[in-house]
Amino acid sequence: MPLANSNADQRWTYADYLNWPDDERWEIIDGVAYAMSPAPGRRHQELSVELGRQFANHLKCKPCKLFSAPFDVRLAERLGMSDDKVETVVQPDLLVVCDSSKLDERGCNGPPDLIIEITSPSTGKNDLTIKFDLYQRHGVKEYWIVHPAEQTVMVFKLLENGMYGVPGRFGGSDQIDVPLLGELVIALGDVFAD
C-alpha cells in the first residue's frame, strides 16, 4: 500500500524515510513507499527463527553475518549516493552479508549476499515480482522465497549473465545445500515442523 496522503507522482528517498514515525513500518522501492504489516504472524515468526537459527549456527565465528528484520538494506543505483538520492530501502525477513564494508550503524549499504523473504497474503505478489526484479537488478547472489502455507522454498541463484536462473524448489523434509556459504545445509523438516 503506497504512503497515505501522498501525491501519486511523489518520489520518496531514504532521507524522507528517516523522518517517518518509528511506530510505522515502511519500505521504499524505486521511490515508491510501501506499508508493511505492523507485526508478522506467529507462523511467520516460527519459520524466521528456525531458518535464522540454522544460518546463525553455521556462520558463528565466520566473516559472513546474519541479520533479521527490522534491518534496513539501502540499495542505491550508484555507490556513495547521499540519503536524499537513495530511493530504495527494504527490510528483508533474513539476510546474510559477507562484505563487512557494506555494514554501518544504520544497516546494510549495498546488496546482501543472500536474502530470504517469507511470504504472507499481503506480500506474496511483491516478493515474486517487485522484490524479485529489485534483488536481481542489484546483484543479490541468492534470493529465497518461503511459502509458509505450501511449506515450500524457492531458491533463485544469480547467474553469470546477471539474471536469476530457474529456481530450485524445495519442500517438506528436503535439505537445501548453500554452497555460497560453505558447507551449510538447511533442514526444511526442522523449519516446517509444527
In whole angstroms, how far apart are CA 137 and each of 71, 140, 164, 178? 20, 8, 10, 21
What fold, for 40-191? tt1808, chain A (3.90.1570)
Task: Give me the pLDDT at residue 109, please.
Answer: 96
For residue range 98-153, list pLDDT tens digits in order.
999 999 999 999 999 999 999 987 778 889 999 999 999 999 999 999 999 999 99
Q: Where are the domains of the chain?
A: 40-191
In which residue ranges of the chain is pLDDT below 70? 1-8
For residues 191 and 51, the answer to whether their CB atoms sit within 8 Å is yes
| DSSP letter for each residue of 108-142 | EES--SEEEEE--TTTHHHHHTHHHHHHHHTT-SE
DSSP code, position 37: -
**Chain-centre distance for alpha carbon 115:** 4
Task: Give me the pLDDT at residue 7, please.
Answer: 55
pTM (predicted TM-score): 0.93
Task: Give me the pLDDT at residue 162, please.
Answer: 97
For residues 113 and 92, the answer to whether their CB atoms sit within 8 Å is no
Burial of 42 (0-12, 13-18, 19+ CB in 10 A): exposed
Write b or e for each residue in 11-23: b if 16 or more Cβ atoms lie within 10 A of its Cβ, otherwise e: ebbbebbeeeeee
Phi, psi of 51 (to 5 degrees): -60, -45
Task: Give me the pLDDT at residue 36, please.
Answer: 86
Task: Give me the pLDDT at residue 101, please.
Answer: 96
For residues 27 and 89, the answer to whether their CB atoms sit within 8 Å is yes
